[in-house]
Chains A and B, each alone.
Chain A
């Protein structure tokens, strides 16, 4: 397995953004590293992504996590308008706190539906909002993924997202 950098975006001011277009169709899988801090919603906010500009009711999201006192699982229900990538702290959280998200989209060019997965967490060093867990999201669309947008939330300065392509020997020739 080899990872190849595709693109990185970093917020230089608070705001919406993080849209990655023209994703190369030459890799087997995608891996995304995201360091995020939301500004538009409360601590522990759900953070989301969209594929190919689709904000329709074509997603389903499951998660399992813990907040330091209990463990829980959930299903957002049928017909969600986004894929989930985990929870994030917000500007009310500890100064300088960012969440970590490790996201995989396996076989993103296939003609089947796509299932993404995310490992995620942040510890705010307080007794109110600390979350860690795993997320899965189904996108009921057979199109290859050519665009990924993380613009459902406003993110703080310093938030950064990197996308990598994962290749197999047939692509690298080695």
Chain B
């Protein structure tokens, strides 16, 4: 960010709110972009430990030879059986609730697969609150819009990661990969200690 012609007196008195001060580059407010990943798994690593919460959003399509397939979320690179998920799912005719316990990742929901019509991607968002806290396990909350134009689901899930470690990496992925056009964005919200 480049700001020119600021005098000491102006700094002491505080800057007036001028539209032209913002360089349209510096992050505004309490939701800050950390990283993005395209055309593959999210694989967000070395997540800064300075924010209060994390928010991840994206569009995703898997490579399995199915119209819809399972999406997954993992924390800190762990594939150990230390995840548990509870979810609700609607497929256009029936609503269901189910659980996946003692698994190697969270179950994101049914997303578009390789056999879905061209250009169809599923949309998701994930919240991880108090991700730097090391005194308790982590509860994630997410939802997935997996409409494949004739099949697919709308889905909401929550899950517990059975470790007290701070979240330093997070992955969103298909069982056998994700297609070109997949997009993931990671944001930090708030600040530790606020």
- Partner-B contacts on A (CB < 8 A): 2-5, 8, 33-35, 64-71, 94-100, 102, 119-125, 130-134, 158, 160, 162, 164, 167, 172-174
How many of B's residues come within 8 Å of A, CB to CB? Answer: 45
Q: Say whether A125 contacts B139, CB under 8 Å.
A: no
Residues 91-110 of B contacting A (Cβ, < 8 Å): 95-99, 101-102
Q: Say whether B29 contacts A4, CB under 8 Å.
A: yes
- 11 A-B residue pairings within 8 Å (CB atoms): A4-B30, A71-B96, A96-B135, A99-B139, A123-B86, A123-B139, A130-B84, A132-B141, A133-B156, A158-B136, A173-B17
Q: Say whether A120 contacts B52, CB under 8 Å.
A: no
Would you give the shortest CB distance from B98 to chain A, in whole angstroms? Answer: 6
- A-B residue pairs, 4 tightest by C-beta: A66-B97, A121-B158, A96-B136, A66-B88
Instruction: Select one of A65, A124, A130, A164 contacting B30, CB under 8 A.
Output: A164
Instruction: Select one of B130, B160, B190 contacting A122, CB under 8 A.
Output: B160
Would you give the shortest CB distance from B34 to chain A, in whole angstroms? Answer: 14
Check if B53 is an interface residue, CB within 8 A of chain A. Answer: yes
Q: Say whether B96 contacts A94, CB under 8 Å.
A: no
- Partner-A contacts on B (CB < 8 A): 17-19, 22, 24, 28-31, 52-53, 84-88, 95-99, 101-102, 127, 129-130, 133, 135-137, 139-141, 143, 156-160, 162, 164, 189-191, 194
Q: Say whether A2 contacts B87, CB under 8 Å.
A: no
Instruction: Select one of B17, B84, B143 contacting A123, CB under 8 A.
Output: B84
- The complex places the Cα of A95 from the Cα of B87 at a distance, in Å, of 21
Instruction: Select one of B85, B95, B141, B164 contacting A100, CB under 8 A.
Output: B141
- The complex places the Cα of A131 from the Cα of B97 at a distance, in Å, of 9
Q: Say whether A3 contacts B189, CB under 8 Å.
A: yes
Instruction: Select one of B18, B24, B156, B157 contacting A134, CB under 8 A.
Output: B156
- The complex places the Cα of A7 from the Cα of B139 at a distance, in Å, of 22
Instruction: Select one of A5, A67, A96, A174 contacting B97, CB under 8 A.
Output: A67
Q: When A3-B31, A8-B52, A96-B164 are in contact, do A70 and B190 touch as well, CB less than 8 Å?
A: no
Instruction: Select one of B129, B133, B135, B160 contacting A97, CB under 8 A.
Output: B160
Would you give the shortest CB distance from B130 to chain A, in whole angstroms? Answer: 5
Q: Say whether B84 contacts A174, CB under 8 Å.
A: no
- The complex places the Cα of A4 from the Cα of B30 at a distance, in Å, of 5
- The complex places the Cα of A69 from the Cα of B87 at a distance, in Å, of 9
Q: Say whether A8 contacts B17, CB under 8 Å.
A: no
Q: When A102-B141, A120-B141 are in contact, do A158 and B87 touch as well, CB less than 8 Å?
A: no
Q: When A68-B99, A164-B190 are in contact, do A5 and B139 touch as well, CB less than 8 Å?
A: no
Would you give the shortest CB distance from B122 to chain A, in whole angstroms? Answer: 18
Q: When A122-B158, A132-B87, A132-B158 are in contact, do A33 and B189 touch as well, CB less than 8 Å?
A: yes
Residue of A nearest to B82 (CB): A125
Q: When A33-B189, A66-B97 are in contact, do A123 and B164 touch as well, CB less than 8 Å?
A: no
Cβ contacts under 8 Å, B18 to chain A: 173
Residue of A nearest to B143 (CB): A119
Would you give the shortest CB distance from A68 to chain B, in whole angstroms? Answer: 4
Q: When A5-B191, A132-B88 are in contact, do A160 and B97 touch as well, CB less than 8 Å?
A: no
Instruction: Select one of B17, B28, B97, B140 contacting A68, CB under 8 A.
Output: B97
- The complex places the Cα of A45 from the Cα of B87 at a distance, in Å, of 18
Q: Say whether B129 contacts A5, CB under 8 Å.
A: no
Instruction: Select one of B86, B88, B127, B135 contacting A33, CB under 8 A.
Output: B127
Residue of A nearest to B87 (CB): A132
